[in-house]
Structure 1
Amino acid sequence: MSVPVWIWFATIGGLLVLLAIDLVIVDRKPHEVGVGEAARWVTFYVACAVLFGIGIWMFSGGTHAGEYFAGYITEYSLSVDNLFIFLVIMSAFKVPSIHQHKVLLVGILLALVFRGIFIAIGAAAISEFSWVFYVFGAFLVYTAVKLSGSGIGHDDGEDYEENRVTKLARKLFPVTDEYHHSKVFTKIDGKRFATPMFIVMIAIGSADIMFAVDSIPAIFGLTKEPFLVFAANAFALMGLRQLYFLLGGLLRRLVYLSIGLAVILGFIGVKMILEALHTNTLSFINGGEHLNVPTIGIPLSLSVIIGVLFITAVASLMKTRRDGRKAESPSAIASDIERGELTETDRPPLEAGDTATDRTTGR
């Protein structure tokens, strides 16, 4: 896929225009972003991503369009996991609701810069060293195994520990104890101070570095085109801020998200290793000759990714609904058992002094 330089500049310019429009409209007057407003913006950004993919299909063909959409969906789904960390950071820094959108905007701009650097490094490594795909594939499989064993759901109560970048920022700039509206820096008695707003922006942006370590190899497993990798990442991050406000409490209901993402990462990791074996040039593997192994195409990859995400979402919502039912009154549970929606095993255990009749009637 040959992409002229002007296409790169036009794409980056278009993304900056979208961010500028968002900044002018949403952040012109600080306010708490509601579900309706967030839903409209998410729809807008998804529509922009889809239109971009249609443009790729029209000018470059279905293969590259399929790679872009597979990469975009994968990056968007992996980015949802970022939102849990964002929730923890926002809570730890006690960011006022009316300023959270601005924090996410600047944080994600930093994330775009970091990911652009990672993409450039990854593209250069892939073009120069054939063994990189083996490394990327093995790393994704390892990450998948580690992620699948991390447990169901996310612990929203876990303590946030500042990373090295955030700690360095605190050393370089004296920080005030309180927020000064939406100011990043302020002057007190003639001395310049950073505010907690500055530190939390650094925390959000630098936290994405850890996620990029997983997501960049994952998308290179779906397409080797740097332009498609960058575009998919950019559009995924662009809509992430509004998704944060749209999902809200729903994030805590996606209890199987880690497992679903682990399956996707493991699948892409295996795909990368198979492709590396299929085009093998390493002398210590099969004498430097290609291996006749099956490879996984984009249509199958796209189907697996969408299927896993759908099953993960449905299973998560069913579990949280089931757990919610268990917390209801005994009479409601008894009614659900009669309708066949729950089983006897879903009844809560008897407490001291209770009888089976009490548990059934709720008395």
Structure 2
Amino acid sequence: MGKPVWMWLSFLALVIAILAFDLGILHKENKEIEVGESLRLSALYISLGLAFGGWVWWYLGADSGIAYLTGFVVEKTLALDNVFVIALIFSFFAVPRLYQHRVLFWGILGVIVLRAIMIGVGATLVAEFSWLLYVFAAFLVLTGLKMLFMKEAEPDISNNALVRFMRRRFNVTETHHGEHFFVRQADPKTGKLTWFITPLFMALVLIEVADVIFAVDSVPAIFAITTDPFLVYTSNIFAILGLRALYFALAAMIHRFRYLKPALAVVLIFIGSKIFVADLIGLEKFPAALSLGITFAIIASGVIWSLVKTRDEKVEA
């Protein structure tokens, strides 16, 4: 796994402590999260992620610290696309704001496990077949070009194969039942009590599947930055931990980041191409500090340009 067991156990203990603090203290009771609270919690999670990056820099060295921070920034930006899809899912299933945090919390737990599996498999394959890094790099370049030049249609959740499958194979309630994912009620055909899944659970399943799809981009991106499994996983998880908190602010102003997607496409092209560029100019790898600087500059330019171009637009309720 690249690092001592105590480092992995310490990181997992830290993540568990953060989640326990979030659920057990900050959100012990269900309540709607307002934009102000969302921003404050996001600032806290970003600070924790950066503080962990500072520890990585101090304990493992500058190269590891820069690799972690680059991965953290890239994953955080990629997560913005995920926010748009999550908002569509919540809207389609008419999930009340009061219960959205519960869905996102359990979604994060699923992400922690799924990303561990995907990154573990990826690290094993890269260790055995180093040429896979070039495949990842080429995939990132092609993905970036596709994002730049091909217009993507808005997902049609009503015709989603998974939604149709769940409605066909399981008993599904027509309405929400508070914060419950499962409820027992009378079967309309037999009159006997049986288990039903609620729209809240269907929303959770779709969010988990959406993360797997987004991980197809983000996992190769981070492996193109560093092949250290510890840095790959920790930067991924710290970036995603804050997504739940940031969602409630971003969902209300996602239109303000309209021009961030082209910037993200350029970042993916850059991250993928720098592996080939390093080979062409005879470097073992692209300078980590330069990579972080260019990545941050591209993303910052996209954010600033988006905010400037949409400054006169009203925030949708």
Q: CA deviation at 1:200?
A: 0.5
SS at match of 1:37: helix
- The aligned length equals 308
More divergent stretch after superposition (229-238 vs 167-176): 167-176
Match of 1:178 in 2: 175
What are the superposed Cα offsets for residues 54-111 of structure 1, whole Å, 9 maximum, x if unpaired? 1112211111111101110111111111101111111111100100111111122212
d(CA) in 1 for partners of 2:176 and 2:283?
A: 58
More divergent stretch after superposition (241-250 vs 76-85): 241-250
Q: CA deviation at 1:28?
A: 2.0
Amino acid at match of 2:204: M
- Identity, in percent, stands at 38
Match of 1:102 in 2: 102
What are the superposed Cα offsets for residues 245-291 of structure 1, whole Å, 9 maximum, x if unpaired? 1223321111112101100000000023345x47xxxxxxxxxxxx8
Match of 1:331 in 2: none
Is 2:274 aligned against 1:271? yes
Amino acid at match of 1:180: H
Is 2:70 aligned against 1:67? no
Higher alpha-carbon Rg = 1
Q: Which of structures 1 and 2 has the larger relative contact order (alpha carbons within 8 angstroms, sep 6+)?
A: 2
TM-score by length of 2: 0.91
Where do 1:47-196 residues align within 5 Å?
47-151=47-151, 159-161=156-158, 163-189=160-186, 190-196=193-199
Measured at CA, do residues 294 and 15 of structure 1 come closer, stay the same or move farther in structure 2, by a change above 3 Å? closer
Amino acid at match of 2:172: V
Q: Which runs of 5+ in 1 are unaligned?
A: 279-290, 326-363
Mapped contact 2:83–2:251 kept (Cα < 8 A): no
Match of 1:14 in 2: 14
Q: CA deviation at 1:25?
A: 2.7
d(CA) in 2 for partners of 1:132 and 1:167?
A: 36
Where do 1:290-329 residues align within 5 Å?
292=282, 295-321=285-311, 324=313
Q: CA deviation at 1:320?
A: 1.7
Match of 2:221 in 1: 218
Mapped contact 1:42–1:242 kept (Cα < 8 A): yes
Q: CA deviation at 1:160?
A: 2.3
Mapped contact 2:147–2:261 kept (Cα < 8 A): yes
Amino acid at match of 2:57: W
Amino acid at match of 1:273: F
Mapped contact 1:166–1:202 kept (Cα < 8 A): no
Mapped contact 1:162–1:203 kept (Cα < 8 A): no
d(CA) in 1 for partners of 2:43 and 2:3?
A: 28
Mapped contact 1:147–1:258 kept (Cα < 8 A): yes
Mapped contact 1:108–1:204 kept (Cα < 8 A): no
Q: CA deviation at 1:166?
A: 4.6
SS at match of 1:221: helix
Mapped contact 2:83–2:250 kept (Cα < 8 A): no
Match of 1:260 in 2: 263
Amino acid at match of 2:258: V
d(CA) in 1 for partners of 2:269 and 2:172?
A: 42
d(CA) in 1 for partners of 2:124 and 2:254?
A: 36
SS at match of 1:177: coil
More divergent stretch after superposition (39-48 vs 225-234): 39-48
d(CA) in 1 for partners of 2:271 and 2:310?
A: 28
d(CA) in 1 for partners of 2:118 and 2:64?
A: 21
Is 2:237 aligned against 1:234? yes
d(CA) in 1 for partners of 2:163 and 2:113?
A: 17
Amino acid at match of 1:316: S
d(CA) in 2 for partners of 1:166 and 1:121?
A: 28
SS at match of 1:174: coil
d(CA) in 1 for partners of 2:6 and 2:167?
A: 40
Mapped contact 1:147–1:259 kept (Cα < 8 A): yes
